[in-house]
Amino acid sequence: MKLLSLRSVLEKPMVIEEISLSEMQVELGEPLVQMRGIVKIFPGVVANDNVDFDLYAGEVHALLGENGAGKTTLMNILFGLYSPDEGEIYVAGKKVEIRSPRDAIRYGIGMVHQHFKLIPTLTVAENIALSLANAPAINPSKHLVEEIERYSKRYGLEVDPSAYVWQLSVGERQRVEILKALMGGARALILDEPTTVLTPDERDELFKTLRRMADEGCGIVLITHKLEEALSVCDRITVMRNGRVVATVRPNEVVAADLAKMMVGRDVLLNYEKPPSEIGEVVLRVEGLRVLGDRGLVSVDGVSFDIRSGEVFGIAGVAGNGQSELVEAIVGLRKVESGRVEILGRDVTNQPTSRVLGLGVAYIPEHRIERGIAPDLSVVENLILKSYRNPPFSGRLAMNTDYVREWGKRLVEEYEVVTPSIDAPVKLLSGGNIQRVIIAREFSQEPKLIIASHPTYGLDVAATEYVRKKLLEQRRRGAAILLVSEDLEELLALSDRIAVMYRGRFVGVLEADEITLDRIRVMMAGEEEAS
Amino acid sequence: MSEKAPKRRLLVAAIVLIAILAIGVGYYLWVYAPAAAAAAKIKAGYIYVGPIGDYGWTHAHDQGRKIVDEKYDWLDTVYVESVSEADCPRIIDKLITEENCDVVFTTSFGFMDATIEAGEKYPDKIFFHCSGYKRGANVGTYFAEFYQLYYLNGLMAGALTKTNKVGYVAAHPIPEVIRHINAFAIGVKEVNPDAKVYVVWIHAWYDPTKAREAAEALIADGCDVLAFTEDSPTVIEVCEEYYAKGQPIYAFSHYSPMYSYGPNVTVSGQLVHWEVVYDDILTKIHDGTYTSQNLENVDYWWMLHEGAVELGCDFGMPINPKFEDALKAVTVTDTKTGHGTMSVYDLVMLRLEQMKAQPAHVAKVENGQLVWELGPIEFDPFTGPLYDQDGNLRVADGVRLGHDDLWTMDWFVDNVVGSPTG
Amino acid sequence: MEKKEAPPKWMEVLVPLVSVASALLIAGFFLALQGIPPLELYSKMLAGSFASYHGISYTIVKTIPLLLCGAGLVLAFKANIWNIGAEGQLLMGAVAATWVALYAMPSAPSYLVIPAMFAFGFIAGALWGLVPGYLKSKLAVNEIITTLMMNYIAIKLVEYLIYGPWRGEEEWGFPITDKFPEAAWLPRIPGTSVHIPTLILALLSAALVYLLLYKTKVGYEARVYGSNPEAARYAGISSEKVILLVMAISGGLAGLAGVGEVAGIHRRLRYPWSISCGYGFAAIIVAFLARLNPLAAIISAIFLGGLFVGGDAVQMAFGLPVGVVNMFNGLMLLCLVSGEFALKYRVRVK
């Protein structure tokens, strides 16, 4: 008897399981998921403070907010990664308890994380098979191929089921993640900052797909901090700040500035004032630079330009057209094949990075975590990375700890770095604050030349505004600035001149009065201007 | 969560830990401290270098310990196995201070320094060190010697080899092993002057993998009889495998009865009776003959005559009956003691009796110094003429090697192939 | 499974205690099954390593080499350099000390020969560490493999020396060197085997590694390099300098441990495994249990030393085979490592 009852428990572990969005009829416009009064407290922080959130069938719903506003926490609760301290969740109108992602998937809720959870050495089909509870036991990937193709076609998620994941581009990997969720029965799909890793084209593709999925009856939550995304593709926008919902609006009811204000809690500068600055001597001169890329192909092919003090020289271009290699060659991280780099009249071609940077060059690297910081070291220790070698930071052997701390505290205040203390490991900081640490370190030395690669990439609105303001401050002070960015608005807002790079060459250099968005777009596609 | 909670938890954890500590220590003192008082008996501690299950050196010592422990009511024993040389001083301290041992036996050469130091540290305790040469007022030495057995094994090997190649898997190139290889080679040569002994060093006392490799290498090289110094029956097992494949290779077991590992291939071997030595030492301590004052010149170097060693691959079986006929079929002339022509089997038995009848070496004290003199034995393998590998006459005709020469032996006799330095 | 952010401080103290307690519980269960009273056994163990004069003194004897090697490894691991070669570096220190004591200055007085032994021991260990360091910095050869291989070379070298040219003349042909002249014996705390100079050096080494890492420029550079070599390169920190310096100090400290073992304990060179007992490998555990904090390495070295020492009390008192003792020690380490893991990661089951 006892055995029997045990078995029945094992076979039917949960009663609530009957509810599943994938099998239930929820009409378009009806709520798929409702969250009511969600409270989640982490030690020292109220991450979600009495939050209500609805997702309807057939809508793309933006969850907009600054880093740390509580959007990801809220969605992690919905996906069963955290359990809420208070509050209720309803799926298709029925109250449920979601204790794990497995529960969430059963209810028809899927999530695509910022960092993909795919196994690179397996094929697409194998990865999907792994995630499906009901995949056939023997040679599952083979049986799945057809199924995958069916889903691919239906939602426009093109991907080769037999390709290995390591062969795929980031965008394709994201598609695999979405397929995984859909084939797992997801009807409510959460995407966490899906566009940060995508190229503009891939991003457009994704949005088309999302639209199609919504039309098929899915509900989609798009976690983002980018205003234009929220405004352009979403049906509704819920804005969060400090763990609370500020408002839920429709895109036609608001303009970008309104949303920015809701997110940040004050008026935000979207258009920067750029007073004319005094243009001085030539700080950086690049002549006929030729550089090879990682695969040994020519990446920078005979590029020449000058930057003078007080001037922002922007480089526009689709990623992968030689911008990164150009910057690396200038700072000495990549070998120059031919040509010449001069800083303040001194030839620094193929000089070690430390010498180049020692000439008063500030460098804000493209990969800020990989290159810009020592993640395990404290905030203050990261702040002295460029200056620790010299007095008063250190003597012959020993560090001058007192001075360093004093100085670190001042910088943290001055640059408004939000950190528990100057001794906290810098890896615990948010992306925006890490960038502040880097900028504080680089700008505090009054650099003559600033090389900034994608300085606001991945940052939220407030942090982006801050970085841009700081760059303009440096321009006013008389620094020469090389700005590489994919964000055309940023380039337009900050640059005095803009070069457009295509396949290793400058397609053209636009002077201040020639710059328009359309001209740059045309040139980015490689078409030279006939001017 | 309030600020104080973690601190309170920490405090609780600390109190619990201290309480456990206090209970443990208190219990220990209560249970074990009074035990120190009762000591009408003798308590002997044994320190082993290997595990008692090693089927060799340590196993043999532990067998000896068990036998005397059961034999005498007045004796208690305790042992510690797998003691590294660096840990020996600590283990001695423990045996003396915590286990209240009166006698400590340290059964590895590497324990020598530690034993001598302990002797100085505990002047009223008694120590016996196996296989060393340093003594003190309360530190004696002892060793059960195999060279006579290796010689007898060599006689049989010389008769059984058809390829005239005899292999020897050897542990470490130290005098003890060199002496045994020489004794074996001398036996081989007496029966078969054309045969050579091929030595492979494995540089380990216990390493079945290397022993197997060495044995297979020797067989591949043409050897059809193997002897070895290594604390596992691996070589025997290898030979048994070859026998099963139709290629009989014969072997002599080492230190423990290994007949059962190769009943078809094991001819004979070397066996030890440490209990004979332990019995003598402990009885003499018990009756007051040995004290912590008079061990300066006490050294046991016991062999067949004293009964500390036995010929055979199993107790009571000097020669595997399977090989009796083969050994009886080969005849030799006893040129050394003049007993005429006989079969190898009879020669082995004759030599065995000769060596059992009288001691080979006798310890004497002269001017307060221990001196080993040659015993009145009729035959000893290490009797001249003996030539080294370069053909030099190392021992003149009729001259016998004594204790000190044998204990420092670093050269091979002329029918050994291999280097005595490893 | 995901990484936790910084665990609260009280957890860092509580978790190891819980780990030790659970190891005791698990082992106790199996011991009780075998009819051995666990409490009695634990009290014996504790008495064996910490609660008696002898126990404490031998725990310290074990702590000395564990701490010297462990402090060096903390430095190396902080710089993300995987020195698995402390064992070999220790042996080379022992070889150098033997050379000084027996061959270079056999009749020098103590005040010359003892500093000379430590100096040459440090240099020998450092050189042994510099070889893989050089290969890593110049040719990018993986140091895990090279340091490991260098261990075996050191072992073979010691064996060659004691069987060959350095075999003692007064030792009846046994493979050990002659005893060091008395001037080269390290002074001990009377009645114990605790060699005083090495003990002081060991404690100093922990303090020095701490100062080096957190108060000097090179230590800062090492930590930056360890945390992110790319950032180090960008900051103009020479990776060669960091690797060579770290390997030299790490190897040198292990070399000092080797000097202590031959001049303080054995007073001669002998079989490699008799000199070291695997201290160089156990020191890896010391470094990680200390969470790469050089001062905490003092505690973890004492803990591990005590664990080794406590084991044989159990063996004697209960006649347990040595395997049970090893199992117990292994269980203890396993629980501690799992505790560490629990501290750093949050595990989700389904």
Rounded mean pLDDT of A179-199? 85
* Residue C250 and residue C73 in contact, taking contact as beta carbons nearer than 8 Å: yes
Q: Is the pLDDT of residue C347 over 60?
A: no
Q: Is the pLDDT of residue A152 over 90?
A: no
Q: Is the pLDDT of residue A191 over 90?
A: yes
- Chain A residues within 8 A of C231 when measuring between CB atoms: 371-374, 385
Question: What pLDDT sits at residue A147?
Answer: 84
Question: What pLDDT sits at residue A28?
Answer: 77
User: C58-92, pLDDT tens digit by residue?
Assistant: 899 999 999 999 999 999 999 999 999 999 999 99
User: B348-373, pLDDT tens digit by residue?
Assistant: 999 999 999 999 999 999 988 999 99
Question: What pLDDT sits at residue C301?
Answer: 94
Question: What pLDDT sits at residue B1?
Answer: 39
Closest partner residue to A100 among C226, C231, C350, by Cβ?
A: C350
Query: Which token pair is C343?
Result: 């501290």
A/C interface, count of CB pairs below 8 Å: 73
Question: What pLDDT sits at residue B191?
Answer: 95
Closest partner residue to C43 among B17, B25, B87, by Cβ?
A: B25
User: B334-347, pLDDT tens digit by residue?
Assistant: 988 989 999 999 99
Pick the CATH number of C64-319 from 1.10.3470, 1.10.10, 1.10.287, 3.40.1350: 1.10.3470
Interface residue B90 vs chain C (CB under 8 A): yes
Rounded mean pLDDT of B370-378? 93
Q: Which residues, including other chains, have CB under 8 Å from residue A167's CB and lie 6 or more apart?
A: none
Question: What pLDDT sits at residue C173?
Answer: 76
Average pLDDT along chain B: 90
Q: Measure in Å the smallest separation between the Cα of A332 and chain C Cα atoms.
A: 9
Kindly tell me the burial class for residue B70, based on how many C-beta atoms sit within 10 Å of its own C-beta (0-12, 13-18, 19 or more). exposed
Neighbours of chain A (3+ CB pairs under 8 A): C
Query: Which token pair is A239?
Result: 């804005």
Q: Is the pLDDT of residue A2 over 70?
A: no
- The stretches of A50-131 forming alpha helices (DSSP H) are 71-78, 101-106, 124-131
State what percent of residues in chain B have pLDDT above 70. Answer: 91
Interface residue A394 vs chain C (CB under 8 A): yes
Closest partner residue to C159 among B174, B203, B407, by Cβ?
A: B203
User: B164-197, pLDDT tens digit by residue?
Assistant: 999 999 998 889 999 999 999 999 999 999 999 9
Query: Comparing A17-26, A189-198, A315-324, which segment has the lowest mean pLDDT?
Result: A17-26
Question: Are the Cβ atoms of A370 and C226 closer than 8 angstroms?
Answer: no
Question: What pLDDT sits at residue A24?
Answer: 65
Closest partner residue to C54 among B31, B97, B409, by Cβ?
A: B97
For every residue of C162-209, DSSP letters joined together read: HHTTT--TTTTT-SSPPPPPGGGSPPB-TTS--BHHHHHHHHHHHHHH
Question: What pLDDT sits at residue A204?
Answer: 85
Residue A95, helix vs strand vs coil:
strand
CATH 3.40.50.300 fits A30-259, yes or no: yes
Q: Measure in Å the smallest separation between the Cα of A365 and chain C Cα atoms.
A: 9
Rounded mean pLDDT of C91-118? 96
Grade residue B17 by pLDDT with cuts at 50, 70 and 90.
low
CATH class of B41-144+275-302: alpha beta
C285: Cα separation from own chain's centroid = 9
Predicted model pTM: 0.76
User: C168-224, pLDDT tens digit by residue?
Assistant: 887 777 888 999 999 999 999 988 889 999 999 999 999 999 999 999 999 999 999
Pick the CATH number of B147-270+311-354+382-417 from 3.40.50.2300, 3.40.50.300, 3.40.630.10, 3.40.50.10470: 3.40.50.2300
User: B319-338, pLDDT tens digit by residue?
Assistant: 999 999 999 999 999 988 98
Rounded mean pLDDT of B298-327? 95
Residue A63, helix vs strand vs coil:
strand
Q: Which residues, including other chains, have CB under 8 Å from residue A118's CB and lie 6 or more apart?
A: A127, A165, A173, A176, A177
The domains spanning B41-144+275-302 and B147-270+311-354+382-417 adopt the same CATH topology: yes
Question: Are the Cβ atoms of C173 and B410 closer than 8 angstroms?
Answer: yes
Interface residue A410 vs chain C (CB under 8 A): no
Residue A314, helix vs strand vs coil:
strand
* Residue A219 and residue A188 in contact, taking contact as beta carbons nearer than 8 Å: yes
Identify the residue with better confidence: A397 or B106: B106
Fold of A282-375+446-524: Rossmann fold (3.40.50)
Cα–Cα–Cα angle for A231, A236, A238, rounded to 5 degrees: 95
Q: Where in chain A is the domain with CATH 3.40.50.300?
A: 30-259, 282-375+446-524
Residue C169 phi/psi, 5-degree rounding, is: -80, -20
- Chain C residues within 8 A of A401 when measuring between CB atoms: 215
B/C interface, count of CB pairs below 8 Å: 128
